[in-house]
Structure 1
């Protein structure tokens, strides 16, 4: 992390709330309110439920991850209208399951931008005609792209499955299609701040390698269980292997099987180096 960013984080008392919510920040001073609109030089992270986030970079670029919004029971009604996200510059999808991919093609078309996703998945997307090839670029684990100037995205391992279900327009039936392997993303912003979106994943020991090599400042970590790590698993990964400055729990509560609770995650992380930042959908933080 560069000296300027470290100083900004200290002065800002770790994190401050945007005006759209009141997050619970254990063991931190009361956050200050900010005026509306993007604050230049800051990173804004808005949770929209499940694994969907809107991240506004210090340079004002908007990144959206895993946009399952219209049918997501946790997404605030406002954001079920995709245009409410504003102009999206970068679209990242970790894998083809509907609760990560469902609204991604529509969002790519609305903003006339590429949808970045695992390489084999995007080849399937293009071959099925879901998106044209120019909007379904291919890259893979350890590959790094620069989708907009100053922002770098690296695909990393995720311990999960991947399949794409798409409705055949001729038969009206849902069909399974190969979608390669899932990924997570390490996103480095213009000022050097790094966010690791883990996607859907179970425990794997190379989480420690990702932490040591890429050194993310903020980790977006699934805690729901059943399909991903539960709160105890995720707490172990953060506490023992990753030890980032900040962690935001995600991927819980939208599906009855995702029973993980953020309070259990907080307990599992403990009082070490990481501050857990709990959000409700529609709430956000600025770093």
Structure 2
């Protein structure tokens, strides 16, 4: 079965197959996203860490449509404390089969994680995610720097699509992300986490040039989709 992948913007993607899944739904306040949170109807909401540009509208969407939030344990608990009724906590290295056609595994990500408002709430370790949906494997790296165990992730999984941050400053830049692509040995890549704010302004064509012929790079604008 084919999976439709829609780039919502920043690090947010919508996956549509036998299940409908959204990851890191930073929609409200995202200057590059036109869709509204109340237009989202999905089965699962994946959240890689607690920063506002990733947790985003997850709690509100979950309350609205009843979707299950899948997140690191502390972050899932935080979402529950904020009124989300359906949460599924996990930890790095753990996997869970949610349906016959959907399995999620958490990987490491080198970053931070906190919900920051009037106070700062620790929300556990940040993660990347391996999403097995309808016999397709998608790796969403989350916010991360380059790390050598990406090679292990690539050796243990046949990755059909890797979603890699290229914005620099807070995550990998284009050159490190291209090196990561080589370690992951992935078939296809969509760059993410760039051009939302001035501090992460990047040209994705530079990233594509660094990758060369080792993987196919698809550059999507917010709202555009591709099928894998």
User: Normalising by the residue count of structure 1, what TM-score does the alignment of the two structures yield?
Assistant: 0.77
What is the match of residue 42 of structure 2?
Answer: 88
The aligned residue for residue 178 of structure 1 is 122
Q: How does 1:1-287 map to 2 (within 5 A)?
A: 41-57=1-17, 59=18, 61-75=19-33, 77=34, 79=35, 81-85=36-40, 87-126=41-80, 129-132=81-84, 134-166=85-117, 174-190=118-134, 192-239=135-182, 241-272=183-214, 274-287=215-228
Distance 1:186 1:155 in 2: 6
Runs (4+) off by over 4 Å? none
Contact 2:51–2:113 (Cα < 8 Å) also in 1: yes
In proportion to residue count, which structure has more strand?
2
Q: Is the Cα–Cα contact under 8 Å of residues 54 and 62 in structure 1 kept in the other structure?
A: yes
- For structure 1, the residue ranges without an aligned partner over 5 or more in a row are 1-40, 167-173
What whole-Å deviation, never above 9, does each CA across 1:200-246 have from its counterpart, x for those lacking one?
0001100111111122110000000000000111011112x112110
Query: Considering only CA atoms, is the larger Rg found in Structure 1 or Structure 2?
Result: 1
RMSD of aligned alpha carbons: 1.3
Aligned 8 A contact 1:89 1:148 in 2: no
Cα deviation 1:98-154 (Å, max 9, x = unaligned):
00012010011111122111112222333xx2134x423211011112234410010
Distance 2:94 2:44 in 1: 16
Aligned residues: 228
CA distance in 2, matches of 1:264, 1:204: 21
Mapped contact 1:54–1:63 kept (Cα < 8 A): yes
Give the whole-Å Cα distance in 1 for the aligned partners of 2:21 and 2:68.
12
